[in-house]
Amino acid sequence: MTVSIVIPAKNEGASISKVLDGVKTALEGVELEIIVVDDGSLDSTFDLALRSGVHVIKHPYSKGNGASIKTGTRAAKGDVIVFMDADGQHNPTDIPRLLKKLEEGFDLVVGARQRGSQANFGRGIANGFYNWLASYISGHDVKDLTSGFRVVRANKFKEFIYLLPNGFSYPTTSTMAFFRAGYSVAYEPIHAARREGKSHIKPIRDGARFLLIIFKIGTLYSPLKVFAPIGAIIFLMATLWYGYTLKFEGRFTNMSALLYTGSVMIFLMGLISEQITALMYKKDGE
286 in a structural domain: no
The answer to whether residues 19 and 83 belong to one domain is: yes
The answer to whether residues 216 and 228 belong to one domain is: no
Helix ranges (DSSP H) in 103-163: 121-138, 154-157
pLDDT of res. 284 = 45
The answer to whether residues 21 and 110 belong to one domain is: yes
pLDDT of res. 169 = 80
The answer to whether residues 249 and 195 belong to one domain is: no
Residue-wise pLDDT tens digits, 169-190: 889 889 988 998 899 999 999 9
Name which of 135, 119, 5, 130 is nearest 69 in CA terms: 5
Tell me the pLDDT of the chain (286 aa) as tens digits.
Answer: 799 999 999 999 999 999 999 999 999 988 899 999 999 999 999 999 999 999 999 999 999 999 999 999 999 999 999 999 999 899 999 999 999 999 999 999 999 988 766 556 667 777 888 888 888 888 889 999 889 999 999 999 999 998 888 887 889 889 988 998 899 999 999 988 766 655 555 555 555 666 677 777 777 778 888 899 999 999 999 999 999 999 998 889 999 999 999 999 999 999 998 888 877 766 543 4
pLDDT of res. 285 = 39
Angle at 207 between CA 201 and CA 210, to 5 degrees: 105
Last residue of one domain, picked from the residues 220, 241, 268: 220
Given a contact cutoff of 8 angstroms between Cβ atoms, the answer to whether 136 and 225 are in contact is yes
273 in a structural domain: yes
pLDDT of res. 125 = 79
Return contacts of 274-281, CB within 8 angstroms, 24+ apart.
Answer: 274/222, 274/223, 274/224, 277/180, 277/219, 277/220, 277/221, 277/222, 277/223, 280/163, 281/177, 281/180, 281/181
Can you give the residue range of the structural domain that contains 253? 224-280
The answer to whether residues 89 and 166 belong to one domain is: yes
Given a contact cutoff of 8 angstroms between Cβ atoms, the answer to whether 147 and 108 are in contact is no
pLDDT of res. 255 = 93
pLDDT of res. 215 = 73
CATH classification at residue 9: 3.90.550.10
Number of domains in the chain: 2
pLDDT of res. 205 = 57
